[in-house]
Amino acid sequence: MIVVTGATGTLGSLVVHRLLERVPPHKLGVSVRGVESAAALADAGVRVRAGDFTRPETLLHAFEGADQVLVVSAAIRGPGALAANNAAIDAARAVGVERILYTSHQAASRSALFPPHRVHAETEQHLAGTGLPHTALRNGFYASTLAVNIGDAIDTGVIAAPADGPVSWTAHVDLAEAAAVALTQEHAPGSPLDGATPPLTAPELLDLEQVASILSDITGRSIRRVVVDDEEWKAAAVARGLPPMVADFSLGMCLAARAGEYAVSDPTLESLLGRPATPARATLEGIVAAASRPAAGLGD
């Protein structure tokens, strides 16, 4: 049995759907914090059990009988993230799985400027220390994050943000399919899926200046990129109501991009998919389309 954690989240839910194209439902299990959120999966024949990274004892039941577990990295900011990831890995080992897979990041490094990537690096080290066959999926930066980076540019015509750098924006749907491939393929020693993978990224590198140009083309009007001083940007963000810790978190992304930590492209993802990766333009088109829809309950 394959067990997927975080199966109702953005990435986890897509992984489950891709797996259901490859394996029968009774060979798939999910670990979710609230089983009611996965009722549709249960109705489809998937085993649904409650599991919470912050309550490790629940994971032993959630992972029971699994041959492989995909640990989708904990959606926790701060020091608790590493403990949560490690708890899930330890629970998978305790129930006797044959392989553990973990959703890491292409910029995973103990010296990374963006704190979550340091957590990924330490989690990878813990995973390797289990001595079990494992795969650390070094995912590219989620293209959906562009919605945060561009802010209200579709309304204002300006992307105002600190200095950045090129990023290999990668679609959730592509990374989910790659995870499904990793869970259903043989892993020969030395293969790209044995241990930490090469960067799983789309081939195109874009900074916010280039993003502004694409948005201009999509919307048919000029959208400018304006570089804002780091502290000035943070002060303005906090004044708009963004919690200081969240502002620091967002600023960290720009610092890492500026340092070139995301300026990486690799053919491994497209090789696993057997097709071209989804371009960032497609994600931007979706963001523009969503922004143009009338709010629910308004209009005719």
Question: Does 51 fall in a domain?
Answer: yes
CATH code, 80: 3.40.50.720
What is the residue range of 192's domain?
2-140+172-196
Residues of the chain with pLDDT under 50: 296-300
Report the pLDDT value the prediction gives residue 39, as an integer from 0 to 100.
95
Please state the separation of Cα 226 from the chain's center in Å: 27
Question: Does 286 fall in a domain?
Answer: no
Report the pLDDT value the prediction gives residue 294, as an integer from 0 to 100.
65
Is the pTM higher than 0.85? The answer reads yes
Report the pLDDT value the prediction gives residue 140, as an integer from 0 to 100.
97
Question: Does 165 fall in a domain?
Answer: no
Question: Does 53 fall in a domain?
Answer: yes
Question: Does 80 fall in a domain?
Answer: yes
Residues 89-102 pLDDT 10s: 999 999 999 999 99
Question: Does 282 fall in a domain?
Answer: no
> Count of domains in the chain?
1
Question: Does 223 fall in a domain?
Answer: no
Question: Does 96 fall in a domain?
Answer: yes
Report the pLDDT value the prediction gives residue 94, as an integer from 0 to 100.
97
